[in-house]
Structure 1
Amino acid sequence: MFSYEESQKFNGFPIPKHAELMNSRKGFASYSGLAVSETKKDGLPLIYSLHSKAGGWKKTFQEGALTTYEKGNHRIDVIAETNYLSIGVNEELNSKFFY
């Protein structure tokens, strides 16, 4: 039920295996059918947060439903609302390393 896989699209950030993909484009994806909620501490189930932390991702920012994670020179923005999750590459941090 709570299984995750590292996503190449999101620089190894974990993605729930059983989530229903709603929308996907370069650097962004949204999912439904998950036990996420904006009323939780960071919106994500504890096991998901632990899996991302074990993968080296650090929570660096949170405001409302938005939580930002960083690992090395990569930054991922996660928005968790009731039964909805969006994950996107934060280009602001990622692009500054390519100049």
Structure 2
Amino acid sequence: MALLKQTLAVMVVLSCGSAAIAGSCLSPAPPWMPTDADDLRAYADLLRRDAETYFTDVEQYFRCLDRQRRDVFEEARAVTGDYARLLELLDDVRY
């Protein structure tokens, strides 16, 4: 039972830490949007293009985060299994 609790604790810690590991997915910078109506009209085409590019980049960013989360979760699962085997081995050695 103690082994199960330790294993679950490791899974929780590793899944929380995955946010820090996800640093290679860079979130896109939001486009500049003027507040002046004349500027909005003057730069409408450019602003539309920038906004569309931003939304495309945001989708790519979310896909990147999903991939990294999936990869880190699988890695954490493997490490948890390795750690559980280590704890079992240590328990066997002590008794």
Question: When the two structures are superposed, what TM-score results if normalisation uses the length of structure 2?
Answer: 0.22
Larger strand proportion of the pair: 1
Larger helix proportion of the pair: 2
Structure label with greater radius of gyration: 2
Question: When the two structures are superposed, what TM-score results if normalisation uses the length of structure 1?
Answer: 0.22
